[in-house]
């Protein structure tokens, strides 16, 4: 499988594109190209490869593609096949003092894989293979560039599942999941990627290879100082390059159960989920849609639809679904045809509508955040009403997609259109204002500004305030692990030797 290509075509030939963030290191000389090739990794400097590696699925940048604007092109695309080659490439880059941005499936939606200062786009998709399946201890060792669907197909032949099913299953890699702290649609039973990962192999900024957790011989839990695996989970390529991972697996489920309910209000649905989790029931899928999204996805306007599914050992599944049904009934829900779950399953990975909206001049994006149960109803009301008040807004809606004992993820969708759909200044203003409103509402109600998409470019300006004094710890970690600042510079809003971290309003208009 090769790296994914975002679905929007370029408006110009690759050689003629303009960079929205003009890169500091736009070219490498033949000597450096030769040194990179000597590592054994594939090296490409042609216009087509550099153009594709300039972008991911960031929706704003997809709009730019239509008018021939690349986010930022790297000087070279380098694709290692092993951890040793990856380490050698990073060493060459460190000696030359040029940026190295890990890119993989490029399905990230926040611009995380965009090489904003140029240099090397390190294509991790050449790191493939499942090297160990341990059925007894339920652990799988896999190279970081393995795509999600390929990994799941492979472990299923051994009667196991990883249980991690992001909507981008076929587009994203294991390394990308880990780098962004991803979440799958069955996360209430199987956990988020930070719960699934048991150990890592990571190439540091000076080319050293470090192994953590299960890959360093540790047991299922440890008290051996801070958890070094979790240090790299969510670091978005800024602290190291993940080359392999040990993941926890589960036996394939023998039993499945589905149900669907309609709630009079979104808040009543949230309350039913809170009570379900509080009683210890964890159905794998718990997705609650607000009125707008219930109308759009299920032709049931005026209701708030919950689709639920659980799988596993039959008595446990039936008990969990029975607790859920009781809690839904207590909150005034009516049972719906469970065929709605099949409908959700059938369409759950279809995002073709987003590309056609973008082609039609509509500015659209999604924002996922997380907050405690006590904050969620007000956060939902605050963020959707804030979005709806942005001039040009056509849609402000949300669904709950991942639930925990102490809270849940809200996934907002906004869309808008200016009087002139080709007006880029209006598009940037609308986009930035919509993001700002949801980020600020989340902070007001005490939530996490991202639940699973990560920071990338778009959330960079908001991370410092969200972390408080923790920001100084993140900066210290970055300085200690990457003193020359070569790893994915400009991300997580961190300062870099190549220039200021980019922001939406800092994008150059053609």
Ligand X SMILES: Cc1cc2nc3c(=O)[nH]c(=O)nc-3n(C[C@H](O)[C@H](O)[C@H](O)COP(=O)(O)OP(=O)(O)OC[C@H]3O[C@@H](n4cnc5c(N)ncnc54)[C@H](O)[C@@H]3O)c2cc1C
Q: How far is the CB of 190 from ligand X (least distance, A)?
A: 13
* Position 76 contacts ligand X (CB under 6 A): no
Three-class SS of residue 75? Answer: coil
The residues, ordered by sequence, that sit 6+ positions from 46 with a Cβ below 8 Å of its Cβ are: none
Q: How far is the CB of 295 from ligand X (least distance, A)?
A: 22
Three-class SS of residue 480? Answer: helix
Ranges within 109-138 binding ligand X (CB under 6 A): 109, 112-113, 124
Q: Which of 179, 262, 286, 393 binds ligand X (CB under 6 A)?
A: 179
Which single residue is written with the structure tokens 């509080």? 278
392/454 with CB nearer ligand X? 454
> Do 24 and 486 form a contact (C-beta atoms < 8 A)?
no
The residue among 175, 166, 161 whose CA lies nearest residue 122 is 175
Can you tell me the distance from the alpha carbon of 133 to that of 139, in angstroms, rounded to the nearest whole number? 6
DSSP output for 160-180: EE-----TTTTT-BHHHHHHH
Number of residues in contact with ligand X under rule CB under 6 A? 37
Q: How far is the CB of 110 from ligand X (least distance, A)?
A: 8
Three-class SS of residue 30? Answer: helix
- Name the H helices within 207-338: 228-232, 266-278, 291-298, 314-330
* Position 402 contacts ligand X (CB under 6 A): no
* Position 412 contacts ligand X (CB under 6 A): no
Q: Which of 99, 163, 175, 386 binds ligand X (CB under 6 A)?
A: 175
* Position 358 contacts ligand X (CB under 6 A): no
Q: How far is the CB of 236 from ligand X (least distance, A)?
A: 4
What DSSP character marks residue 474? H
> Do 183 and 234 form a contact (C-beta atoms < 8 A)?
no
Q: Which of 89, 116, 183, 494 binds ligand X (CB under 6 A)?
A: 183
Can you tell me the distance from the alpha carbon of 42 to that of 79, in angstroms, rounded to the nearest whole number? 5
Q: Which of 74, 105, 119, 386 binds ligand X (CB under 6 A)?
A: 105
Q: Which of 12, 14, 154, 167 binds ligand X (CB under 6 A)?
A: 167
192/275 with CB nearer ligand X? 192
139/164 with CB nearer ligand X? 164
User: 325-354 mask for ligand X (x: CB under 6 A)?
Assistant: --------------------------x---
* Position 172 contacts ligand X (CB under 6 A): yes
Q: Which of 21, 57, 261, 404 binds ligand X (CB under 6 A)?
A: 57
Can you tell me the distance from the alpha carbon of 461 to that of 150, in angstroms, rounded to the nearest whole number? 35
DSSP output for 388-411: HTSTTEEEEEEEEEEE-SSEEEEE
Q: How far is the CB of 232 from ligand X (least distance, A)?
A: 8
> Do 90 and 205 form a contact (C-beta atoms < 8 A)?
yes
Which single residue is written with the structure tokens 């955040």? 369
434/488 with CB nearer ligand X? 488
* Position 237 contacts ligand X (CB under 6 A): yes
Bridge partners (DSSP) of residue 409 are 370, 402
Q: Nearest residue to ligand X, using CB? A: 176
Q: How far is the CB of 325 from ligand X (least distance, A)?
A: 26
Q: How far is the CB of 101 from ligand X (least distance, A)?
A: 6
* Position 187 contacts ligand X (CB under 6 A): no
Q: Which of 39, 54, 85, 168 binds ligand X (CB under 6 A)?
A: 168
CA 37 remoteness from chain centre: 31
* Position 199 contacts ligand X (CB under 6 A): no
80/386 with CB nearer ligand X? 80
Q: Which of 39, 54, 65, 101 binds ligand X (CB under 6 A)?
A: 101
* Position 478 contacts ligand X (CB under 6 A): no
Q: Which tokens belong to 430?
A: 């609308």
Q: Which tokens belong to 42?
A: 């594939």
Q: Which of 10, 21, 177, 411 binds ligand X (CB under 6 A)?
A: 177
* Position 78 contacts ligand X (CB under 6 A): no
**Length of the chain (residues):** 510
Burial of residue 436 (number of CB atoms within 10 Å: 0-12, 13-18, 19+): middle
Which single residue is written with the structure tokens 């940026």? 99
* Position 449 contacts ligand X (CB under 6 A): no
* Position 233 contacts ligand X (CB under 6 A): no
Containing H/E element for 122?
strand 120-123
* Position 108 contacts ligand X (CB under 6 A): yes
Q: Work out whether the CA dihedral 286, 289, 295, 296 comes out positive or negative.
A: negative
Q: Are strands 393-403 and 407-416 parallel, antiparallel or unpaired?
A: antiparallel
> Do 174 and 155 form a contact (C-beta atoms < 8 A)?
no
The interface region with ligand X, picked from 25-33, 99-107, 267-275, 493-501 by CB under 6 A, is 99-107
32/178 with CB nearer ligand X? 178
Query: Binding residues for ligand X, per CB under 6 A?
Result: 56-57, 101-109, 112-113, 124, 144, 166-168, 171-173, 175-177, 179-180, 182-183, 236-237, 241-242, 351, 452-453, 488, 491
């Amino acid at each position: 499988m090769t790296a994914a290509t975002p679905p929007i075509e370029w408006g110009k030939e690759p050689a003629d594109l303009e960079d929205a963030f003009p890169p500091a290191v736009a070219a490498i000389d033949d000597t450096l190209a030769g040194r990179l090739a000597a590592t054994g990794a594939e090296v490409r400097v042609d216009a087509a490869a550099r153009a594709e590696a300039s972008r991911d699925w960031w929706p704003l940048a997809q709009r730019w593609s239509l008018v021939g604007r690349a986010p930022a092109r790297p000087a070279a695309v380098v694709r290692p096949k092993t951890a040793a080659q990856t380490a050698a490439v990073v060493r060459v880059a460190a000696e030359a003092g040029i940026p190295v941005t890990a890119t993989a499936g490029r399905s990230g939606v926040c611009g995380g894989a965009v090489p904003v200062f140029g240099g090397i786009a390190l294509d991790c998709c050449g790191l493939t293979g499942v090297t160990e399946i341990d059925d007894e201890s339920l652990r799988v060792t896999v190279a970081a560039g393995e795509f999600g669907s390929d990994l799941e197909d492979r472990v299923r032949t051994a009667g196991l599942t990883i249980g991690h099913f992001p909507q981008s299953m076929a587009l994203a890699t294991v390394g990308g999941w880990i780098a962004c702290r991803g979440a799958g649609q069955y996360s209430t039973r199987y956990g988020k990627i930070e719960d699934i990962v048991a150990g890592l192999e990571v190439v540091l900024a000076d080319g050293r290879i470090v192994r953590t957790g299960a890959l360093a011989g540790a047991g299922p839990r440890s008290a051996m100082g801070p958890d070094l695996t979790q240090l790299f989970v969510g670091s978005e390529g800024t602290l190291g390059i993940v080359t392999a991972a040990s993941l926890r697996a589960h036996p394939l489920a023998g039993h499945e159960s589905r149900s669907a309910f309609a709630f009079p209000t979104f808040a009543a649905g949230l309350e039913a989920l809170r009570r379900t989790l509080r009683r210890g029931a964890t159905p794998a899928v718990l997705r609650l849609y607000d009125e707008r999204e219930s109308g759009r996805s299920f032709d049931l306007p005026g209701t708030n639809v919950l689709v639920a599914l659980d799988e596993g050992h039959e008595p446990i599944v039936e008990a969990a679904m029975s607790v859920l049904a009781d809690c839904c009934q207590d909150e005034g829900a009516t049972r719906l045809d469970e065929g709605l779950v099949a409908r959700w399953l059938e369409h759950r990975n279809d995002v073709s509508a987003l590309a056609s909206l973008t082609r039609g001049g509509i500015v659209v994006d999604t924002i996922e955040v997380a907050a405690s149960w006590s904050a969620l109803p007000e956060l939902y009301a605050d963020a959707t009403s804030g979005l709806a008040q942005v001039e040009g807004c056509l849609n402000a809606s949300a669904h709950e997609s991942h639930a925990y004992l102490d809270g849940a993820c809200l996934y907002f969708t906004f869309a808008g259109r200016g009087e002139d759909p080709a007006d880029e200044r209006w598009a940037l203003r609308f986009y930035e204002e919509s993001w700002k409103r949801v980020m600020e509402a989340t902070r007001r109600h005490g939530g996490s500004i991202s639940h699973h998409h990560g920071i990338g470019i778009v959330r960079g300006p908001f991370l410092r305030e969200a972390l408080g004094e923790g920001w100084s710890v993140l900066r210290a970690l970055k300085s200690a692990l990457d003193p020359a600042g070569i790893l994915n510079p400009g991300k997580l809003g961190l300062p870099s030797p190549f220039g200021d971290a980019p922001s939406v309003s800092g994008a150059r208009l053609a």
